[in-house]
Amino acid sequence: MKLSRLLVHLTALVGVLAGALLLPGCRKETPPLRAEVKAFYPERLRYFLDEYEQHGKKNPKWDSAMRQLIETDTYNVYLHEPTLSPVLLKAFAKLDEAKCDDPYFRYLSALYMRRRSSQPYPYATYADAYEALKRSSYGPVLQFLAAHRNAIHTYDLTDAGKRKRCFSLQAEAFESILKAVADPTVPDEVISAGIEAFFQWSRAAEPEPVTFNRAPRLQAAIELHRPERALMLRLLGQLEIQLAWARRSNSWAYEVTQAGWTGFTQHLDAAEKLLERSWALQPTGRAACSMITVELGQARGRERMELWFNRAMELNPASEEACYAKLHYLRPRWHGSHEEMLRFGVECTENSAWSGRVPLVLAFAMEQYLGDYPEADQPRLWTDPKVWALVKKSYDAYLKKYPDDDQVRHAYLEKAYRSAAWDDFGRQYKKIDSIKQIYLSREKLDLMLQAYGEHEASK
């Protein structure tokens, strides 16, 4: 689409929105937890606290702080939110002062070290923590977490020795997953996150045959030890989706080989069967979202995508995962258009039945929309008032309901800078109590403030 057509469509959309009200005002709230996080968090927390109680180096000097650290980390990891909180720092300070040498603490200390200091990633520290956990009686889940994290931070494209060590650690991590699957004391809710993280990273970093060879072993272990469990079937379905896209490759359709299409079709068919079995046992938003991705590849029709999207939103009206899956489906490269993407984004800000971070989908839709244009054109497009009207609508709709979400307000600030929307930049900057480098780097902030100052001086 030409730039002139882009501006015509934006003008039409802004015209429709003129005078439209944002979400109605309400008391200050925090965004609702993702449905799965809310459901799984208690089981995950219980498991990790029990691990420390049964296998940790207990000491009255640090037991209370260690429990607090485990509780905060468990919440942070599964919520996928920035993690440098005052509670976390206070717990670390107590444990450091007490000279805690528990292996679990050593792993968490390595995990958070980059946020606690300006030092590079502590490869040796991760390695030491993993070795300490292997010598301890801690169970297979922590063994997996330490091995997998160590592998990630050992990986180096330019160093063959480090890559070899990385792949060796991944192999050890996978064996720990299989042990966890076979261990009846480990809840499904704890295993699930590990399996997802492992295969997502493995597919991206390791040689393709490794991922394909491991999948049957995991499937056999689950069928033996955890058969006909909705969560496990859903995970296997998601794994089949990953394998399908790996077979297809990221090439354009005309570049995909016949073998690639055959593998793609076979794995998507397998994913469909597993996900429908999972749904029959226990309908979940994650299964519905995964079926949107299956439909993306199978292309049986828009109605089928809408069916699974509506099922996901009925189960969880705050399902940003479902909204982003639908948005991806609507991209021009798949089954929609730029105009459909923006119309859906606007719906995300105006549908009063939806909540949470759903209104932010519109800002992301605009970012993806403009990202389809040549990079040289993007600075000019971002500063067009019609573009900013929709981005602003997205953030205002969300922050009207959740005004205390500093993370989103920092993102709003960055987008206002990008769009040269200086009045909005100034208003948002004044509303932020303190700039957190976890959201914006010091360098980025200085650059933004300098540009804002120059604009104000030119008035």
The per-residue pLDDT for range 118-152, each reduced to its tens digit, is 555 555 688 899 999 999 999 999 999 999 999 98
Give yes or no for residue 26 having a pLDDT over 70.
no
pTM over 0.85: no
Contacts of 258 (CB under 8 A, 6+ apart): none
What percent of the residues of the chain are helix, what percent strand, and what percent coil, each to the nearest 5?
75, 0, 25
* DSSP codes joined into one string, 304-354: HHHHHHHHHHHH-TT-HHHHHHHHHHTSTTTT--HHHHHHHHHHHHH-TT-
User: Which pair of tokens denotes residue 420?
Assistant: 């040269």
**Average pLDDT, stretch 193-200?**
86
Report pLDDT for 32.
Answer: 57
Indicate whether 291 belongs to any domain: yes
Give yes or no for residue 434 having a pLDDT over 80.
no
Report pLDDT for 79.
Answer: 58
* Residue 240 belongs to domain spanning: 229-250+257-315
Distance CA 404, CA 407 (A): 9
Going by pLDDT thresholds of 50, 70 and 90, the confidence category of residue 246 is confident
Contacts of 420 (CB under 8 A, 6+ apart): 382, 383, 455
Indicate whether 62 belongs to any domain: no
Report pLDDT for 117.
Answer: 59
* Lowest-confidence pick of 289-298, 390-399, 442-451: 442-451
Helix (H, G, I), strand (E, B) or coil at 262: helix
Indicate whether 180 belongs to any domain: no
| CA 132 to mean position of chain CA atoms | 29
**Higher confidence at residue 1 or residue 296?**
296
**Higher confidence at residue 111 or residue 421?**
421
Report pLDDT for 365.
Answer: 97
Going by pLDDT thresholds of 50, 70 and 90, the confidence category of residue 252 is confident
**Higher confidence at residue 41 or residue 412?**
412
Give yes or no for residue 402 having a pLDDT over 50.
yes
Give yes or no for residue 83 having a pLDDT over 70.
no
Q: Which segment, 4-13, 284-293, 432-441, is predicted with the most confidence on average? A: 284-293
Q: State pLDDT tens for residues 312-365.
A: 999 999 999 999 999 999 999 999 999 999 999 999 999 999 999 999 999 999
Contact status, residue 74 vs residue 47, Cβ threshold 8 Å: no
**Higher confidence at residue 6 or residue 244?**
244
* Lowest-confidence pick of 22-36, 161-175, 193-207: 22-36
- One-letter amino acid for residue 232 of the chain: M
Indicate whether 1 belongs to any domain: no
Indicate whether 289 belongs to any domain: yes
Give yes or no for residue 82 having a pLDDT over 50.
no
Indicate whether 306 belongs to any domain: yes
Report pLDDT for 452.
Answer: 93
Distance CA 95, CA 88 (A): 11
Report pLDDT for 120.
Answer: 57
Expressed in angstroms, the distance from the first to the final Cα of the chain is 36
Q: State pLDDT tens for residues 163-183.
A: 899 999 999 999 999 999 999
Mean pLDDT over all residues of the chain?
Answer: 86
Contact status, residue 386 vs residue 11, Cβ threshold 8 Å: yes
Going by pLDDT thresholds of 50, 70 and 90, the confidence category of residue 209 is confident
Helix (H, G, I), strand (E, B) or coil at 34: coil
Indicate whether 160 belongs to any domain: no
Count how many domains the chain has: 1
Indicate whether 285 belongs to any domain: yes
Give yes or no for residue 24 having a pLDDT over 80.
no
Distance CA 141, CA 444 (A): 38
